[in-house]
Structure 1
Amino acid sequence: MTTTSRPAKQDRLRADVRDLLGRVGPFLVDGEWVHALDGSTLGTVDPSDGTTLATVAAAEGRDVDRAVAAARRALSGPWSRLTPARRGTLIWRLADLLEERAEEFAQLESLDQGKPQAAALAADVPLAAGQLRYMAGWADKISGRTATLSVPYTPARTTTPIPAGNRSAWSAPSSRGTSRSTWPRGSSLPRWPQAARSCSNRPSRHR
């Protein structure tokens, strides 16, 4: 069995992907790219050969507090004051941007997960874009009522927007991370297209 050397792998990467992997990946907090307050980083492992694929910022308690504070501020920020129709338009645009950079995201997904790039391009990225568009369509259609169930459980709901945390699955962060940030699975998760809630997202580590 033969393996591909790292220089050969790098030669096959898109220029924008090589540039991204060559930088320390920061957090996106309050609309700004920032590094860990204490400068901590961790390495993302290439599953094909065990080498370090990229270096990213590593969060600790103060970084989490900073992200939660930003999410709380967002509850009373410009997003919460947008009309539902405008929110839906912006989320739809996010799906458009994802598709415009589909090859870049597919290559990153392939490198990080060890899956064929063709699979990421044909499934993961389109699914993520599709989920965003699905939820964009709900932005002006949520009535706020809770359906009565035919089982002995009481459906939970909250009428007060709250910031929520999300940890995406390691096996398909682009599509499953998107679905967990948008899918209407209950009041504990952020239906932000409809309710103008805010979400703090953390990718999962698979090693």
Structure 2
Amino acid sequence: MKLLKTPLKDCFILEPTVYKDKRGIFYETYNQKLFEKITGLNIQFVQDNQSVSTRGVLRGLHFQHGEMAQAKLVTVVKGKVLDIVVDIRKNSETFGKSFSIILDDVDHRQLFVPKGFAHGFITLSKESIFSYKCDNFYDGAFEGGIKFDDATLALDWHLPKEAFIISEKDMGLPSFEEAVSLLKRE
């Protein structure tokens, strides 16, 4: 497994070793000892989540804050998604910056999303199965988000807006500035 850096502080890509033969492929999706050795992080993941989405489904940008903030290790089991993260850590040198990556079932890369990041993805293939590990449990009282089409962030979701399928909840998320100002009160 290889660790690849991103332009955002503490956010990185893991590229697994994939073994291929006439039967198909095999790779480790997670190995705590190897994760610790490569990253230098001792993280205990406590919750696994999966979503199944069709083309155009946009989920995010979500985060948990305060004592329930979550780090995530995300991957795509089936299909292809554009994954986007935004650093919302006020004291970070990359605060307000975003990073996007295509995750798919071809190269099996994983993205590590540190605590203090907003995270979202859109399905680019006919269907996707998106899987992620979290190091803290979900708690709706500590949930936050940023509107997907925030003008300050100006994110490129790689599909035309009319193709988006978005929940009412995500449509009502605040702007980047509003979300960050709420965090300042903590």
User: For the superposition of Structure 1 and Structure 2, which TM-score range results when normalised by the shorter chain?
Assistant: under 0.3
Structure number with greater Rg is 1
More strand by share: 2
Q: Which one has more relative contact order, counting CA pairs under 8 Å at least 6 apart?
A: 2
TM-score, length basis structure 1: 0.23
